[in-house]
Copies of this chain bind each other. A is one copy, B any other.
Amino acid sequence: MKSPVYQRMAVIGCGLIGSSVARAARATGAVGEVVVYDADPGVRRRALELGFADGAEDEAAKAVAGADLVMLATPVGVIGEVATALAPALTPGATITDVGSCKAVVAEAFAKLGRDDIHGIPGHPVAGTEKSGPDAGFAELFHNRWVILCPPPNGDTAALERLTAFWTRLGAKVEAMDATHHDLVLAVTSHLPHLIAYNIVGTAADMETVTQAEVMKFSAGGFRDFTRIAASDPTMWRDIFLNNKGAVLEILARFTEDLAMLSRAIRWDEGDKLHDLFTRTRDIRRGVIAAGQETAEPNFGRDKR
């Protein structure tokens, strides 16, 4: 096995992503040792039972002591305050990063840590499932997925290369970009899709003229797809929308504008406009499949054939 990229990784927060990073780092030998902390004592116990950590500390500061990689995997709403609270406990030369879905707020928090001897590099693995908690994680979650890193301007090149090597070892592909651009891109590819999914499932549930039983029985017509991401962790997603407000509202305005055009096309029998759009969107799926981010199997391959 190749030598570890970091000697000791502290993972703060052991949900789906944190526990998957821990599992993947151990499985690939990317780190010498994994120590975890979670605010929930039950989750800390579970981490040891599941065996994805060498140790679980009852204080975050103890976990990060001596760690050359600190991985914050809490909901994005508390990443800033967790980083600030841990700043005095960080080992000189360590890299602190995170896995949150909003990067500008994290970049801002890292910039204010007041530790010039620490490398703060916000990160975001674009991977996940609709499940939550330490039992939901798995080592292969990052295979062939993209991880976006948002290093500060004039940040240390060697630290960025090392973190890149870490994620690459876990099977991911890494791209660096500005935190603000990240937040715009993810508003399109992740935040708006979740908002729309949550919304349509809510709308369907609230109909008086269609029962919930009918909605569930006849969901194979398309609705069931939306229920998957609308089953994602509520706290995580509340935080994302509140911490990427500007980009989300901007993209949502575009979406609403386009939807008004579609609505009008239906009302006025403009079949050609509909057909043109529906043809164009087909090509986008081909691109997503070609980019290795999706299965080409019909129905995601979920129906037993």
Q: Which residues of A line the B interface, CB within 8 A?
A: 101, 126-131, 136, 138, 140-141, 143, 145-146, 148, 175, 184-186, 188-207, 209-210, 212-232, 234-235, 237-239, 241-242, 245, 248-249, 251-252, 254-256, 258-259, 262-263, 266-267, 269, 271, 274-275, 277-282, 284-288, 290-291, 293-295, 297-305
Contacts and interface: CB of A to CB of B under 8 A. Distances in A.
A258 B101 contact: no
Nearest to A254: B203
A285 B230 contact: yes
Contact of A220 (B145, B266, B304): B145
Contacts of A202: 258, 277, 280-281
A210 to B, nearest CB: 5
B234 A282 contact: yes
Given A101-B221, A195-B259, A228-B300, 17 more contacts: A127-B220, A140-B304, A145-B220, A192-B203, A198-B281, A199-B255, A201-B284, A205-B280, A206-B258, A212-B284, A219-B293, A230-B278, A235-B275, A239-B271, A242-B274, A297-B302, A302-B302
A128 B221 CA distance: 7
Nearest to A278: B234
Contacts of A303: 129, 140-141
B278 A266 contact: no
Contacts of A219: 189, 288, 291, 293-294
A39 to B, nearest CB: 17
A251 B203 contact: yes
Copies in the complex: 2
Contacts of A203: 188, 192, 251, 254-255, 258
Could you say which of A254, A280, A284 has the most chain B C-beta atoms within 10 Å of its C-beta?
A284
B218 A186 contact: yes
Could you say which of A127, A242, A262, A278 has the most chain B C-beta atoms within 10 Å of its C-beta?
A278
Given A130-B298, A190-B222, A215 B262 contact: no
A274 B193 contact: no
Contact of A241 (B184, B195, B212, B274): B274
Could you say which of A136, A202, A221, A271 has the most chain B C-beta atoms within 10 Å of its C-beta?
A221
A207 B298 CA distance: 28
Contacts of A288: 216, 219, 223-224, 227
A237 to B, nearest CB: 5
A99 to B, nearest CB: 12
Given A198-B277, A259-B199, A293-B224, A204 B284 contact: yes
20 contacts: A101-B221, A188-B204, A189-B215, A189-B219, A190-B218, A198-B281, A199-B258, A201-B284, A202-B281, A206-B258, A219-B291, A222-B229, A224-B294, A227-B294, A228-B299, A234-B282, A238-B278, A249-B267, A297-B302, A302-B302
